[in-house]
Amino acid sequence: MSFIMVSIPALLSAIIILLKIILVAPHLETQSQSICRDQNNNKLICDLEEMKLKIAKLESILEESVRSLSSNVNYLEEKGKLVEEMPHKIDFLKTALTNLKVQLLWAASRKNNFDILILESKAHDAEVRLEAVTKKVEKVKTIVTEQWIQIRQLDQALQVIEVRTSKIQKKKGYTINTFLKVCCT
């Protein structure tokens, strides 16, 4: 398909050249006839002049055709060079893309590794803090248990004291009552 598209300018220039030849040929005959009429010379000279004129016109058309063909050839050569360069450019771009992908993967990998290290460090720090808090809780638990035992002992002692105090007060009250009864009567 691209060959047809590239050769279209060459075909067009060939068609233009043929049209010029077809259009110029009758014109050449009328010019040569006017030269022959003016000269009234020999038919051979007239034919010779006519041939020279036709040759000059055909040379002019040929030069123009060669220029047009030459420019088309240059155009095709430039496009051919571009086509030849395309695989190299494609390979270069593929290599560049592959390198870019590799660089991006390495960068992502380094970032992920760095993030993992940070998370591991934070997890370790959290474990250390948890162990410290657990030790403090155990100490507080031990202290609370000891204090609870002391409170129970104090509570029991208080109950014993209250019972004794009550007994003493009852005895005292009985003694005071009997003393009052004995004294006052």
pLDDT single digits (tens) 115-164: 999 999 999 999 999 999 999 999 999 999 999 999 999 999 999 999 98
Asked if 35 and 53 touch (Cβ cutoff 8 Å), the reply is yes
**Structure tokens given for 40:** 């009234």
At residue 15, φ and ψ (nearest 5 deg) are -65, -40
Mean pLDDT of the chain: 83
Asked if 53 and 31 touch (Cβ cutoff 8 Å), the reply is yes
Distance separating alpha carbons of residues 66 and 64, to the nearest angstrom: 5
Report pTM.
0.42
Asked if 9 and 75 touch (Cβ cutoff 8 Å), the reply is yes
pLDDT single digits (tens) 64-94: 988 998 999 999 999 999 999 999 999 999 9
Distance separating alpha carbons of residues 69 and 62, to the nearest angstrom: 10
Integer angstrom CA distances of residue 20 from 53, 58, 133, 151: 15, 10, 104, 128
